Amino acid sequence: MRKLYVLSLLLLIILGSSAVSASILEYSSKITYDYSLETDKIKDLSLSLLALAVATDKAESLDRKKLWEVTEKLLSHQNGDGGWGYFYGSVSSVPDTGYALLALGTALEKFEGEYDKEYKIKRAINRGVEFLLDNYNGEGWGYLKKMPTSYYPTLIAVVALSSLNRGYPYTEIAFSNVLKNTIPEKPEELALWILAYYNIYKEEPTNVVEKLIKSVKEDYEYPLAAYVLLKVRGLDFEAAKLLAKAESYNESWTSPYYPIYTTMAFSLVSESIIPQGEDKLAKYCALLENMQNEDGGWGIYKGSPSDVRVTYYALMSMKICNPQSEAVYRGLEFMRREMEKNKELILMDGKLRDEYLYALLALLEYRSLDWNERKVERALIESSEWGFAYGKQPLTTALAIKALLKMGADKTTPIVKENIEWLLRIKKNGGWGFIFRTVIVDWNYAPEYPATIEIFNVLWPLVDEEDLKDTIELLRKTPPRIEWQKLYAYLSLSEKSIEPYWSPEISESENNSLTVAMLVRYYSMFPGVAKVNLYSVITELKDKNVSMITTTEVLKDTVKAMLKDNFNIIVNETVFADPELLEVPERGNWIVIAPISAVKVHEYNADVKVRVGEEIKVNDLPVEGKAILFIIPGRNRNGNLIFILYTEPKEYAEKLAEVIFSQPIIKYIHGKCVVITWKDTNNNGNVEIEEIDMKFLK
């Protein structure tokens, strides 16, 4: 097995071009996995497992099956007393037990919910912790049981126990008595000391971190130092320099610890790929068409008898999907038959019917009636009674008005004007419903849904907003309880730029035709907002040609160079836009450069909300600076977006971009949003590295 590892190492060095083209995380994690299978040295096996656990879900070649394979190997090497020895079967020691616990604590997080595996790992951890606590001598730890206190085993024990939130107060006592005032010299021990301090005091020991940075010399020490900085400080310029230096050894490293520490470090600046979400609009268009009956109509549920009202709403949504489809043709044929059937009834008793009006409106929406046909239908409506045996009905009246308007009438036409006034007059509590009128009683059951929504939509362009003020408040405050009606109310308000006090509950039903029809309209207006991160977008755009829409010439060139040099993303088309008229493309891969106020980023990234007012806030966190740049990933209907947004005046943002986009840190940007700020602390007007701050929203 060792020959296999050495051969892998030699191949890596010889085939340098492969290492360059492949992700360094992918490459280092593969080598680490191979090494973990061959080594029986507990420290190396434990560090390999720790690295693989951190990289799982981030390196494509790693999965939980491989991780469990290595975890199970380490579990099988535990001794009967709960500890681990230098090699499999050797006497238990404090340092080796500490390394094993560090690894298992990290691996445990990856098997959450897999109860059998969780139990085995937790049991091993508990036994290992008991071993360490049994070996505590009141001051610290020695290498073996009953040995006097030594620095290195105490350091490992404190790091392991504090990482697991176990061993209090022994860890604090040991750190204070043995470790705190004796700073080690070796980079590996410095790294452990920093992690121990950070675990106990929850703050960065700045001076010791600086000492670690200055002390690294060997190839494997650079990724180790980068890992520690990323753990206690996050990605900054120093961490980026260490990552870049570590990556420079990817063709020439010789120590087995290099791929292990490289896997650990680069996992912290890598993210899981979030796949492109399904096209919800396409999904519900296909589903709606599939719910159509043989006769061309739609029922409440697939296979239920066709209903004229349901078919009307289905056809209104099919206009969004494909107005030229065979399904639409068959639906209109169904509506024509229904219109003619109900017309015969109207001619018999003179009473207008909703079924007739819904069928007529569908045909009018699709311009399926010629001039003579429209003339006949208009005459029929004007000569009929707008209701039935129990009186004139608000919904029938509104539908009749809507049909007349589509056949040449306007709001000043006497019959239209008269009935608009009647609808406003009989409105009750802000809405409309059903009127029950006999010689004995005169009841107005209102407000009811969906009548109130439909009538509101008909009246909106015909009357003053003040006339509908109470209706607006009703819809904003009191949504319908039925899902499709609630969606319809939400869409009706949103189309008019009215924000309700409630949000729709999207259950994404696939059974109810009316709900599916409303979901088509919903996703045409509100495309499913993506959850996305920079790693996913950059990975998908890497080695591809993209388009750019920009509001500034200078930033255009700076961003183009940054994308090409760091990610090999090539901009092959550029469109200039006025900031006030900028529209984010709905499809395709785009780089968007614009003022922060010109783009509603939360429509393209569900996890990022930017508020621009007296102060700028990102997810409610204030952001300040003389110039601010935002790098935000997003997604449209079928493509990926990278937003480079800036604060005004743009000249300052351009200066900031020229400096920051040439730094190695850009290569390692990650998270859901990067915020780069410049504060001109020396007031010389020049952007200097020391004046720049960078934050990553995870």
The size of the chain, in residues, is 698
Whether the CB-CB separation of 426 and 394 falls below 8 Å is answered with yes
Query: 553 and 520, same structural domain?
Result: no
Helix (H, G, I), strand (E, B) or coil at 117: helix
| Pair 577, 549: CB distance under 8 Å | yes
- The least confident of 14-18, 331-335, 389-393, 555-559 is 14-18
pLDDT digits (tens, 9 = 90+) for 355-413: 999 999 999 999 999 999 999 999 999 999 997 777 899 999 999 999 999 999 999 99
Measured distance CA(600)–CA(608) in Å, rounded: 10
Look at residue 275 and tell me if it is in a domain: no
Cα gap 300→150, rounded to integer Å: 77
Which stretches of 343-487 are assigned E, i.e. beta strand? 387-388, 391-392, 434-437, 442-445
Residue-level pLDDT at 671: 83
Query: pLDDT, tens digit, for every residue of 539-574?
Result: 889 888 899 999 999 899 999 999 998 889 999 999
Predicted pLDDT at 57: 80
Do 103 and 209 fall into the same domain? no
Residue 136: strand, helix, or coil: coil
230 in a structural domain: yes
Instruction: Give the C-alpha separation, 285 to 223, whole Å.
Output: 50
* CB within 8 Å of 160: residues ≥ 6 apart: 97, 98, 99, 101, 102, 105, 132
Mean per-residue pLDDT, 232-237: 85
Are 506 and 546 contained in the same domain? Answer: no
Considering the domain architecture, whether residues 75 and 172 belong to the same structural domain is answered as yes
Contacts of 334 (CB under 8 A, 6+ apart): 295, 296, 297, 306, 311
Query: Which of 504, 525, 546 lies at the terminal end of a domain, its last residue?
Result: 525
0.85 exceeded by pTM: no
**Between the CA of residue 219 and those of 11, 45, 687, what are the distances in Å?**
18, 20, 33
Neighbours of 231 (CB within 10 A): 18
**Contact assessment for residue 317 and residue 517, using Cβ atoms and an 8 Å cutoff:** yes
| 254 shares its domain with 284 | no
Q: What is the mean pLDDT of residues 573-584?
A: 92
Answer yes or no: do 33 and 44 share one domain. no
Domain limits for position 4: 1-38+186-270
pLDDT at position 495:
93
**78 pLDDT above the threshold of 90:** yes
State yes or no: pLDDT of 20 exceeds 70: no
150 and 227, same structural domain?
no
477 has which bridge partners? none
* 16 and 84 fall within a common domain: no
Alpha-carbon gap, residue 332 to 297, rounded angstroms: 8
Q: Is the pLDDT at 212 greater than 60, yes or no?
A: yes
Boundary-marking domain end, from 236, 270, 304? 270
Asked whether residue 655 is assigned to any structural domain, the reply reads yes
The three-class DSSP label of residue 192 is: helix
Residues 120 and 133 grouped into a single domain: yes
Q: Are 502 and 557 within one domain? A: no
CATH classification at residue 305: 1.50.10.20
Residues 251 and 138 in one domain: no
Model confidence band, residue 59 (pLDDT cutoffs 50, 70, 90): confident
State how far the Cα of 152 lies from the Cα of 158, in Å rounded to an integer: 10
If pLDDT is split at 50, 70 and 90, which confidence band does 450 have? very high
Q: Would you state the structure tokens that stand for residue 453, as one six-digit string?
A: 């929504």
Q: How far apart are CA 592 and CA 13, in angstroms?
A: 40
Q: How far apart are CA 335 and CA 330, in angstroms?
A: 9
Q: How many domains are there within the chain?
A: 4
CB 354 within 8 A of CB 311: no
User: Based on the domain organization, do 452 and 539 belong to the same domain?
Assistant: no
Where is 20: in which H helix or E strand? helix 16-21
List pLDDT tens digits, range 172-196: 999 999 999 999 999 999 999 999 9
* Amino acid code (one letter) for 275: P
- pLDDT of 1 over the 50 cut: no
Peptide bond into 504 cis (omega under 30): no
> Among residues 282, 328, 335, 305, which one has the least CA distance to residue 513?
305
Give CA–CA dist 93/154, Å, rounded.
11
Last residue within a domain, chosen from 150, 165, 182: 182
